[in-house]
């Protein structure tokens, strides 16, 4: 398994650099178009460059903080969560890896995710429902799965992609509102050319938002879940623990889940949208970053 794992890690790092590069190009193009609209193309590119640098630093160094904040997670204390700490510390010692920071999401819906940029700067968040529903072997399987994502640098790719995609979506929304609510009146002296540039910028940014949303989904490969499952099973020596945990977690997802944030779905061990109404569920499965849970369980039990 070592060759595929190291190959996967190298591929994740390449994809991360590609995302940064593509993000820079898209920002430069957007800045240039908006600069043409205000008759200051150089200023537009410079402002876009500054924003790119800021968001790159935030996504790389502070991405885990953004993710935990969006998820409504709070730091777990050793005094209140000794069971969780003991489990994670034991697995970290066995793996020879740093103990990740631990977070709790106060909801009865069981689930978990990992985020960060590398094994030294990573977090694992679990819900209260996960701790209440799983036995020790099942919890070890889930934690081992999340630690596999950390070791494989899946979390770097997923965290960076989520923050950058969210930035593009926000900029797209802001620019559309700016043009729709008065922005188009600010450059009447340029006549039809300004209106055309405004239209181009709106179309460009309107396309960028869903493009980055899809890029996020495709960048986070479904194969990463199979690899993390296999790594966790190999690490704990008990595939049934994770298989049983996946059964419990997938069966307990609910409609209108408090953890079902579209931007974060790809991070969770089980897609929170599985508990959505049937039409939404079918669409979620079609475009999901996760393979079917039943297939994951089948593979684990065949080991």
Q: Which of 219, 236, 257 is the last residue of a domain?
A: 219
Catalytic residue chosen out of the listed positions 81, 138, 140, 146: 146
Give yes or no for a contact between 252 and 276, defined as CB atoms under 8 angstroms apart: no
Q: Which of the listed ranges 99-108, 178-187, 198-207 does the model predict with the highest average pLDDT?
A: 99-108
Residues 174 and 77 in one domain: no
Residue 23 sits in the same domain as residue 77: no
Q: Mark whether 101 and 127 lie in a shared domain.
A: yes
Instruction: Residue 78: name the closest of 88, 93, 69 by CA.
Output: 88
Residues 116-132 have a mean pLDDT of 94
- Of 21-30, 99-108, 194-203, highest mean pLDDT: 99-108
Q: Name the token pair of 49.
A: 């460059």
Asked whether residue 148 falls in the same domain as residue 245, the answer is yes
55 and 42 in a common domain: yes
CA angle 278, 279, 280 (to 5 degrees): 90
The answer on 203 and 136 residing in a single domain is no
- Rounded to an integer, the average pLDDT of 178-204 is 60
The tens digit of pLDDT for each residue in 57-101 reads 887 888 889 899 999 999 999 999 999 999 999 999 988 889 999
Same domain for 288 and 167: no
- The band of 1, judged by pLDDT with boundaries at 50, 70 and 90, is very low
Lowest mean pLDDT among 46-60, 101-115, 224-238: 46-60
Answer with the one of 170, 190, 219 that is the final residue of a domain: 219
Decide if 146 is catalytic.
yes
Is 183's pLDDT higher than 60?
A: no
Give the best-scoring range by mean pLDDT among 92-101, 179-188, 257-266.
92-101
136 and 19 within one domain: no
Q: Which of 233, 239, 276 is nearest to 109 (CA)?
A: 276
Residues 120 and 245 in one domain: yes
User: What is the extent of the structural domain holding 241?
Assistant: 72-155+225-301
Confidence check: pLDDT of 300 > 70:
yes
pLDDT band for position 10 (cuts 50, 70, 90): confident
Q: Looking at 178, 193, 219, which one is the last position of a domain? A: 219
Does this model's pTM top 0.85? My answer is no
Q: Are residues 77 and 148 in the same domain?
A: yes
**More confidently predicted of 263 and 2:** 263
Higher-scoring residue by pLDDT: 55, 269: 269
């Amino acid at each position: 398994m070592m060759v595929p794992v190291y190959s996967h890690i190298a591929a994740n790092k390449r994809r991360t650099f590609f995302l940064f590069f593509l993000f820079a190009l898209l920002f430069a193009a957007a800045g240039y178009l908006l600069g043409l609209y205000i008759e200051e193309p150089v200023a537009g590119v410079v402002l876009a460059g500054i924003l790119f640098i800021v968001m790159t630093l935030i996504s790389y160094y502070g991405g885990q903080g953004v993710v935990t904040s969006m998820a409504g997670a709070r730091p777990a204390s050793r005094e209140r969560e000794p069971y969780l700490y003991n489990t994670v510390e034991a697995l970290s010692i066995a793996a020879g890896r740093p103990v990740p920071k631990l977070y709790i999401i106060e909801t009865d819906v069981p689930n978990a995710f990992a985020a960060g940029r590398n094994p030294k700067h990573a977090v694992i968040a679990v819900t209260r429902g996960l701790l209440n529903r799983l036995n020790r072997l099942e919890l070890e399987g889930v934690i081992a799965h999340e630690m596999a994502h950390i070791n494989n640098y899946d979390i770097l790719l997923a965290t960076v992609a989520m923050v950058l995609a969210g930035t593009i979506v926000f900029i797209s929304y802001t620019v559309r509102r700016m043009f729709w609510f008065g922005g188009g009146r600010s450059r009447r002296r340029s006549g039809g050319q300004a209106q055309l540039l405004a239209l181009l910028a709106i179309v460009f940014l309107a396309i960028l938002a869903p493009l980055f949303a899809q890029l996020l989904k495709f960048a986070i490969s479904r194969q990463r879940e199979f690899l993390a499952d296999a790594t966790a099973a190999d690490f704990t020596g008990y595939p049934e623990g994770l298989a049983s945990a996946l059964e419990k977690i997938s069966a307990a997802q609910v409609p209108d889940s408090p953890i079902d944030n579209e931007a974060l779905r790809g991070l969770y061990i089980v897609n929170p949208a599985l508990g959505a109404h049937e039409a939404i569920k079918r669409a979620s499965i079609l475009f999901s970053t996760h393979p079917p849970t039943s297939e994951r369980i089948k593979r684990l039990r065949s080991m």
